[in-house]
Amino acid sequence: MGSTVPGEAAGRMQRRVPMERKASIDQTILSPGTVSINVKGAFIVDDDPSRPPTPSDDGAQHDTDIRLPNHEAVVSHVALDIGGSLAKLVYFSHEPSSKDLGGRLNFLKFETDRIDQCLDFVKGLQDEFRLQNGSRTGSMAIMATGGGAYKFYDDIRRILGIEVLREDEMDCLIMGLDFFITEIPREVFTYSDDDPMHFQQPRANIYPYLLVNIGSGVSMIKVSGQRQFERIGGTSLGGGTLWGLLSLLTGARTFDDMLRMAEVGDNAAVDMLVGDIYGADYNKIGLKSTAIASSFGKVFKMKREGEDQAEDHGGLSHENREEDNDASNSQPAFRKEDISRSLLYAVSNNIGQIAYLQSEKHNLEHIYFGGSFIRGHRQTIQTLSYAIKFWSNGEKKAYFLRHEGYLGSVGAFLKRQPKNWGRRNSFEEYPVGRPTVQHEED
């Protein structure tokens, strides 16, 4: 493993501090709960020129940071949410320039199959933390959640030699989402064709709601209040399904490649539409001609037509049969871009309809979609939003987040904090014995 922080993270984990602050730093390390994250004035950093290209050479994909201009204290932990496909990392750094006050929350993701790259990056953060703060080896802790927190637990401890605190995945998901809803401006948004990103203002009154977390699979969680939630359903047809099938059908190597293909595909080339059956809209039941009647419904028909044409060539002379059979026996060519778009719609529509049914059953108006499946992809967001609007006749709302893949890692990060440190009391009080902090208001 490397000994320096890759790329632009070098020098950002923490700034050098005067000797008089060493005592407070040591106290922070011993009692991290005494540090309050100051979210006053927080904002999402857009178009940051200091960001390296995505993905970078260290294997990390950098997402937009959240600036915390009023937070000055040392933060002695990082958080990892290790899922079946991606490992999501969140850590705090002070600004690299001494003229800039405060710091930022950094958001990065790595492929879980390359977890060594992720741990190499964290090793660099650990080394930089010691360099900047003069703290001893092992002083930085890792808050870990997701299945990988257990699968890779021994590897993390062996490679990094630091404390690993494992947190419940559902707890972390809810805590992370509550934080984003209540604390961060321009984070949560709704979608419409006229206004693709209509931002919601942070608010305190958020319960009840339904969280639809879409990773490799899908979990649907009813949240009634702080620490009051239950998993009410889900489906195994999630991001892993899309990734797996498209890797077989198209040869694409990454999930982002598949999404890029879907953007330029035409699902009408493989899907059977309402217009293919009725020749127009089916207005009586509210279906447009472009609505999908059957995902991949044209494939069998086109394949059969190709086979019928091949049989029709059976009476050709011997001289022409070999040449014509080469063309007529070949299967219809389906573009991988069209296949990608069709399968993306199929998976997204299925998730959207199940989410609606669960929200209807449990009388939940607000539906939040999270998880790394979405990735800010317009077609995915449009499909999920349309499904909720269509099935509920506009009575329910679908919400999305700019950091939708980091709910678990942010929740794990917050687990190291004391009670009610946010401006709007965005999560529950910790058990007796955990440190408390002063609360700064707007």
32-60: per-residue pLDDT in tens? 444 467 788 899 998 654 554 455 567 88
Percent of the chain with pLDDT over 90: 52
Taking residues 2-28, report their average pLDDT: 45
Q: Which of 71, 55, 74, 73 is nearest to 63 (CA)?
A: 55
Strands 61-68 and 103-111: antiparallel
Task: Note the pTM of the prediction, 2 decimals.
Answer: 0.80
| Tokens describing residue 373 | 């499946």
Identify the pLDDT of residue 350: 96
Examine the pLDDT at 284 and tell me if it is beyond 90.
no
Average pLDDT over residues 164-186: 94
Q: Which of 17-31, 62-76, 348-362 has the lowest mean pLDDT?
A: 17-31
Please list the alpha-helical segments (H only) found in 220-335.
Answer: 239-250, 255-263, 274-278, 297-312, 318-328
Summarised one tens digit per residue, pLDDT across range 406-437 is 999 999 998 876 444 455 555 444 333 332 22
In contact, 302 and 309? CB cutoff 8 Å: no
Strand order, beta sheet including 77-82: 43-44, 61-68, 103-111, 86-94, 77-82, 141-145, 164-166
Q: Helix, strand or coil for residue 20? A: helix
pLDDT of residue 321: 44
Residue 362: Cβ within 10 Å count: 15
Is a pLDDT exceeding 60 seen at residue 9?
no
pLDDT digits 0-9 by tens, 67-118: 998 887 778 889 999 998 899 999 998 876 656 678 899 999 999 999 999 9
Q: What is the DSSP string of 183-217?
A: H-TT-EEE--SS-S-EEPPP-S---SEEEEEESSS
